[in-house]
Amino acid sequence: MQIIHAVEHRRHAGRVEMNAGRLVPCFETPQRVEIVLRHVDDAKLGPIVAPRDFGLAPLERVHDPLYLSFLATAHSEWRATHGDCDALPFSWPVPGLNRIRPAAIEGRLGYYSFAADTPITGGTWSAARHGAWCALTGAEALTAGERLVFSLSRPPGHHAARALFGGYCFLNNAAIAAQYLRDGGAARVAVLDVDYHHGNGTQEIFYDRADVLYVSLHSDPVMEFPFFLGHADEIGAGPGEGFNLNLPLPRGTGWPDYSAALTTALTRIRDFGADALILSFGADTFRGDPISRFLLDHNDFSRMGAAIGAIGLPTLVVLEGGYAVEDLGINTVNLLSAMQQ
């Protein structure tokens, strides 16, 4: 197994996020990746390599070029007016308002976001690019014959839509990798998302397509972020109808019910006939996660990994959420070790 890691992820270190009406220290921190890196290294799961620079072209296959330009300059524009502090959105073009792209950076922060939990810092654009290149380097390794690759991407990505950031995500690493595999000749790619929160961005990107199947197990958005996508009746549109499967689960879900939903998800992926699998792996389904409410234990991640590995597809695992930081390393190693067997 190759493990792809970029030290540049450390450059994105937000100070505060808006959570439940308060500005609090960010849950999504550089320490998350450092802990996982230490655990996978100690477990000797495979060589750790740096990503290569893919430029912007593969990112533009998924994201709006104007959005990418915004990310590249947002903090410098913000700093020119507000000083060296994190940039956070605070006004959004909700239904009933005109969706006009503002000239002011304060307006464009809202135009290109859907949540106030995701600060942009001076190093965000560099970290996000390198996180996407980690996923692309992993996808490239699959095309070269690797069967299992772990891309230690950070910031996470599955909430990032074609031209929206939020939920700690700026670039959709899993979607960028899936598109790269399609462009490289894979006829069908499946994305399995096991993060606690629904990957609204990945769904949006592939919702009207039949060549990329998106399957997600997540907490019911009636009660949990991102609230406005992730319901069971969202099955795709146009050519993509039937190629989007959401399996929302209630708060307090433990392994027996989670396992049943995972079996449903894997059956759908087998039936799809995918050439490769992208696993959006969030370990915030762990019972000790500070912002999530599932009840999976350490050994359940081994069970999850064994079940996913058993379908036998070349698989790229891309890191998403997980905020019980010490346990994130344990749960990641348990998943990957079981997938290797």
Task: Report the pLDDT value the prediction gives residue 156, as an integer from 0 to 100.
Answer: 98
Report CA torsion sign: 306, 211, 234, 94: positive
Q: Is the pTM of this model over 0.85?
A: yes
Q: In the chain, which residues have pLDDT < 70? A: none
H or E element at residue 337: helix 325-340
Catalytic residue IDs: 159
Strands 16-19 and 2-4: unpaired
Model confidence pLDDT, tens digit, residues 283-323: 999 999 999 999 999 999 999 999 999 999 999 999 999 99
Residue of 332, 320, 26, 27 whose CA lies nearest to 202: 320
Task: Report the pLDDT value the prediction gives residue 233, as an integer from 0 to 100.
Answer: 98
The first and second tokens of residue 318, run together, are 């891309």
Report CA torsion sign: 283, 288, 293, 294: positive
Phi/psi for 227 (5° steps) reads 70, -45
Task: Report the pLDDT value the prediction gives residue 18, as an integer from 0 to 100.
Answer: 87
Sheet architecture: strand order including 148-151 = 48-49, 2-4, 148-151, 315-319, 276-281, 189-193, 212-219, 244-249
Give the other-Cβ count within 10 Å of 18's Cβ: 16
Strands 22-25 and 16-19: antiparallel
All domains in the chain, ordered by first residue: 2-54+131-340 (3.40.800.20)
Model confidence pLDDT, tens digit, residues 172-218: 999 999 999 999 999 999 999 999 999 999 999 999 999 999 999 99
Task: Report the pLDDT value the prediction gives residue 19, as an integer from 0 to 100.
Answer: 86
The first and second tokens of residue 178, run together, are 């899936």
